[in-house]
Structure 1
Amino acid sequence: MAVPKRKTSKSKRDMRRASNSKATRPNLMECPQCHEPKLPHRVCSACGYYKNKEVKEVN
């Protein structure tokens, strides 16, 4: 069975672990009512519509 010759430093260990967790930008889509960018499956903050129905009144 293989055994490491030297201890892996904290820096090397953390670099290896961090390589898999890259920050990604959220996917934005266009609101069909007001054409503002919004997150998918969320109520539009600009017009208050979700699935072509007004669910929140926006002033």
Structure 2
Amino acid sequence: MPHRRRGGAVERPAPLGRESGTPPDPASAVVFLLASALSWTTGAVLSVDGGLMADRNS
């Protein structure tokens, strides 16, 4: 899929194959973070970006 320009930035699809997320994507992350099994989790970063940060050097 070709890159598109939006404003001054080049827009490209996320590595997971969709151009943008949907409301259930971050909502699922919130449900995960609110789970009682994570009561001892601290200092974690959860990126909900379709893999854009993992693929930023491409």
* TM-score bracket relative to the smaller structure: under 0.3
More helix by percentage: 2
Q: Compute the TM-score of the two structures, normalised by the length of structure 1.
A: 0.27
**Higher relative contact order (Cα pairs below 8 Å, separated by 6+ residues):** 2
